[in-house]
Amino acid sequence: MILIQGKGVSRGVVKGPLYFFQRPDTNIQKITVTDVKAEKARAKAAREKSAEQLNALAEKCKEEAGEETAILFETHAMFCDDDDYVEAIEDMLAEEKCNAEYAVKAAGEQFATMFANMDDAYMKSRSADVKDVTQRILNNLMGVAQGGIESDVPVILCSDDLAPSETLQLDKSKILGFALTAGSSNGHTAILARTMGIPAICNIGADLKVDYQGRTAYLDGETGKVVLDPDSITIQAFKDKEEKQKKFKELMETMKGQEDVTLDGKHINVYCNIGNPDDVAAVLNNDGQGIGLFRSEFIYLAASDYPTEEEQFQAYKKVAADMKGKRVIIRTLDIGADKQVEYFHMKKEENPAMGVRAIRICLNNPEVFRTQLRALYRASAYGKVAIMFPMITSVWEVKECKRACARVMEELHNEGIPFNPETEIGIMIETPSSIFVAPELAEQVDFFSVGTNDLTQYTLACDRQANDLGKFFDAHHPAVLRALKMAADAAHEKGKWIGICGELGADLSLLPTFLAIGIDELSVSPSSVLPLRAEIRKSIARLCTLDALNC
């Protein structure tokens, strides 16, 4: 029996084959070949396969995301067969007598640079498309699965950690669980796993060996254990846990349709965090009462170029409409730090968590901001949309955001486009400075939502991505909890409401503290809604104390 220990970050027990995520090799070497004809045939086959995949994606998009995104894939498919691009690949093969991989990579780079150097902004941005198509052709040449998984059966996906853009491409129906050698409980793979209700373990280290590929393992996302070749006692223990899990799920089903209210009548809004419109299915399935955080940056991360107003509008409108009048809080673009988007061409920073990220990017790029705000306000006509700004540190930032909102509303009004002028505006409280100026911030907005992932990072000076900070990264630290109370008091003083949308919101051991502080809303991953509801319904708010705030 092989027992591998990591950190459990998303509960649940699963059994399945281990599968190591396939990442394309970016270090392509030039190899001299004797059979140029064979390399030409390989390049052609890879281009044709890529075009086929892209056309299939376009068809899928037509049904699920609308024409505009479909056109993007159709254009990519056409580029696979572009005369000049094909000629560049074939000339390189003939002249250099090299391997197809090298020729495709070189032609792709040549075209990407050519587009990037053009004056016209539209042509310039085609550079990202060329890179995308070239990578797909290279993946097909090297036999690397698109989206990282090529398996007929669902698997336990093993990797170091996954970039947000990689998680987006995964075929979630193929994933039973995640086993990560790196990563942290606040990392995006862990957040995705919890959103999808997929068991996950991170920070396993070198004990998870690529040699284990294909071997059947048990994974327990609560205890952080992966077991290969289990002995009979361990198999029985896992089976018992599976049975317990099944019973717990059945019990949670009985929570559907129940009110989120304590025994003494204190109501709390239990909302969900989502990353894309498809996640709404999980929200509805778990009876979430609203969306407390739609991380809109995932739309940007999934695109190879700035998403247009129309593309964004369609996504926001779909979520607003699907939620049928329940509140949908959409956070404006929060990239930078661990979420890098290539086409933003951001400068490399020494300390990106403290660099130009989130609202700073929007305020520095008024056109990008305006496009998103227009899409958000247009979507506000189709449901109960609220807009939320991330990483606020100062009152002037909020005033500038509100001015941008006012300008957009005026534009839409003049164009006769419907929107809700009463759309709520809120901010994320996730920096220490926002705590200190919370009274003034509360005057400016309709609500606060506390991002405990970043608030913990900045308050305790602990990198949220690092997995070796151990006990130093303590989201239960009295400093974090007192900050929460200060923000709540400031909001309530001005008659505003406050929620938590960081991962701490789902921490049932802190529910009494949240009730004592007077938190009005908790936004958690969809799979956490029903367990949280069960706990709320067992609680007596007036007996809850602030003990956790003392050292």
* Residues numbered 27-56 forming contacts with ligand PEP, rule: CB under 6 A: none
Helices and strands (DSSP H and E) totals, the chain: 20, 16
Q: Are 53 and 74 in contact (CB under 8 A)?
A: no
Determine how many CB atoms are found less than 10 A away from the CB of residue 258.
Answer: 13
Between 60 and 476, CB nearer to ligand PEP: 476
Both tokens of residue 524? 């958690």
Candidates 238-246, 249-257, 448-456, 491-499; binding stretch for ligand PEP (CB under 6 A) = 448-456
Both tokens of residue 354? 């403290």
* Residues numbered 451-510 forming contacts with ligand PEP, rule: CB under 6 A: 451-454, 501-502
Q: Of 220, 260, 311, 334, which one interacts with ligand PEP (CB under 6 A)?
A: 334
Q: What is each CA distance from 377 to 261, 316, 317, in whole angstroms? A: 32, 9, 10
Out of 188, 362, 401, 544, pick the active-site residue: 188
Q: How far is the CB of 430 from ligand PEP (least distance, A)?
A: 5
The stretches of 97-220 forming alpha helices (DSSP H) are: 100-116, 121-142, 164-169, 188-196
Residues 6+ apart with CB under 8 A from 474: 456, 460, 480
Both tokens of residue 320? 């607003």
Q: What mask of x and - would describe binding to ligand PEP in positions 292 to 321, judged by CB under 6 A?
A: -x-x--------------------------
Q: What mask of x and - would describe binding to Mg ion in positions 378 to 417, judged by CB under 5 A?
A: ----------------------------------------
Between 318 and 464, CB nearer to ligand PEP: 464
| Secondary structure (3-state) at 3 | strand
The stretches of 416-451 forming alpha helices (DSSP H) are: 432-436, 438-444
Size of the site for ligand PEP (CB under 6 A): 10
Candidates 153-161, 261-269, 283-291, 445-453; binding stretch for ligand PEP (CB under 6 A) = 445-453
Q: How far is the CB of 204 from ligand PEP (least distance, A)?
A: 22
What is the pairing mode between strands 497-500 and 521-524?
parallel
**Residue showing tokens 């042509």:** 123
Q: What is each CA distance from 185 to 7, 192, 415, 502, in whole angstroms? A: 8, 11, 46, 12
How far does the chain reach from its first CA to its final CA, in angstroms?
A: 43
Torsion of CA 109, 112, 114, 118, to 10 degrees: -160
3-state SS string for 476-487: CCHHHHHHHHHH
Candidates 83-91, 177-185, 302-310, 446-454; binding stretch for ligand PEP (CB under 6 A) = 446-454
d(CA 285, CA 31): 53
Candidates 196-204, 342-350, 449-457, 473-481; binding stretch for ligand PEP (CB under 6 A) = 449-457
d(CA 291, CA 294): 7
Determine how many CB atoms are found less than 10 A away from the CB of residue 348.
Answer: 7
Between 106 and 196, CB nearer to ligand PEP: 196
Between 9 and 77, CB nearer to ligand PEP: 9
Beta bridge partners of residue 424, listed in sequence order = 386
Could you say which of ligand PEP, Mg ion, none residue 452 binds, taking C-beta under 5 to 8 angstroms by partner kind?
Answer: ligand PEP
Between 334 and 446, CB nearer to ligand PEP: 334
Between 82 and 166, CB nearer to ligand PEP: 166
- Please say if 501 is a catalytic residue: yes
Q: What mask of x and - would describe binding to Mg ion in positions 424 to 453, judged by CB under 5 A?
A: ------x--------------------x--
Any contact of residue 292 with Mg ion (CB under 5 A)?
no
Between 220 and 454, CB nearer to Mg ion: 454
Out of 80, 401, 501, 544, pick the active-site residue: 501
Both tokens of residue 238? 């896992």
Between 224 and 292, CB nearer to ligand PEP: 292
Any contact of residue 505 with Mg ion (CB under 5 A)?
no
Between 170 and 429, CB nearer to Mg ion: 429
Is the C-alpha dihedral spanning 54, 58, 61, 67 positive or negative?
Answer: positive
Q: What is each CA distance from 172 to 243, 338, 519, in whole angstroms? A: 24, 22, 33
* Residues numbered 66-95 forming contacts with Mg ion, rule: CB under 5 A: none
Q: How far is the CB of 497 from ligand PEP (least distance, A)?
A: 17
Could you say which of ligand PEP, Mg ion, none residue 501 binds, taking C-beta under 5 to 8 angstroms by partner kind?
Answer: ligand PEP
Determine how many CB atoms are found less than 10 A away from the CB of residue 283.
Answer: 25
d(CA 297, CA 344): 12
Any contact of residue 463 with Mg ion (CB under 5 A)?
no
Candidates 201-209, 287-295, 423-431, 467-475; binding stretch for Mg ion (CB under 5 A) = 423-431
d(CA 324, CA 319): 9
Q: What mask of x and - would describe binding to ligand PEP in positions 123 to 162, judged by CB under 6 A?
A: ----------------------------------------
Candidates 123-131, 143-151, 403-411, 447-455; binding stretch for ligand PEP (CB under 6 A) = 447-455
Q: How far is the CB of 333 from Mg ion (least distance, A)?
A: 12
Q: What is each CA distance from 22 to 146, 147, 158, 168, in whole angstroms? A: 9, 8, 10, 14
d(CA 520, CA 515): 8
Q: How far is the CB of 504 from ligand PEP (least distance, A)?
A: 8
Size of the site for Mg ion (CB under 5 A): 3
Any contact of residue 430 with ligand PEP (CB under 6 A)?
yes
Any contact of residue 454 with Mg ion (CB under 5 A)?
yes
Contact residues for Mg ion, defined by CB under 5 A: 430, 451, 454
Would you name the residues annotated as active-site residues? 188, 501
* Residues lying near ligand PEP in the complex (CB under 6 A): 293, 295, 334, 430, 451-454, 501-502
